[in-house]
């Protein structure tokens, strides 16, 4: 008889559990974020496996969503950030690629003019998404704030 090796829970497993629990509970990302004391943007990104949860936030997520205790340690694992497609075909996500393609060089030039040679951190980073009423149709307002990191010359 073969020895059975227990299957470990993966980040993908926990993501599927979170999405299932969210759907069953009829919760929004804002409501889940409020339950764990984080922003909706960070909560979704971390739930999708793109950020690691601090221990207390992982415990709060497990409690809020009714996940198995094993999920706490999985949520704390460092992410491996892999995108499945080079350029996404989902229209909403593709538009962000379009924005970066059109305005990326402009943003880089303006950052360099205002701060010097460097980048905006996506690690020490905040983002919010809000709806803004507009006479030509509602607008999506995205605010990003990342720590400036100067390039070091050796």
Catalytic residues: 95, 98, 121
What's the token pair of residue 112? Answer: 């360099």
Does residue 67 contact residue 14 with C-beta atoms inside 8 Å?
Answer: yes
Measuring CA to CA, how many Å separate 51 from each of 34, 46, 78? Answer: 18, 4, 7
Does residue 46 contact residue 52 with C-beta atoms inside 8 Å?
Answer: yes
Does residue 58 contact residue 77 with C-beta atoms inside 8 Å?
Answer: no
């Amino acid at each position: 008889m073969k020895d059975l090796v227990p299957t470990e829970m993966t980040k993908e497993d926990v993501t599927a559990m979170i999405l299932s629990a969210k759907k069953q509970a009829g919760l929004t990302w804002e409501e889940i974020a409020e339950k764990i004391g984080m922003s909706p943007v960070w909560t979704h990104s971390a739930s999708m496996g793109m950020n690691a949860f601090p221990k207390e936030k992982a415990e709060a997520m497990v409690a809020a969503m009714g996940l198995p205790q094993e999920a706490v340690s999985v949520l704390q694992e460092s992410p491996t950030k892999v995108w499945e497609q080079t350029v996404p075909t989902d229209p909403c996500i593709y538009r962000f690629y379009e924005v970066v393609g059109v305005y990326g060089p402009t943003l880089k030039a303006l950052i360099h003019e205002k701060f010097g040679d460097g980048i905006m951190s996506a690690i020490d980073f905040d983002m919010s998404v809000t709806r803004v009423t507009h006479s030509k149709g509602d607008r999506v307002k995205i605010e990003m704030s990342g720590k400036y990191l100067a390039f070091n010359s050796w």
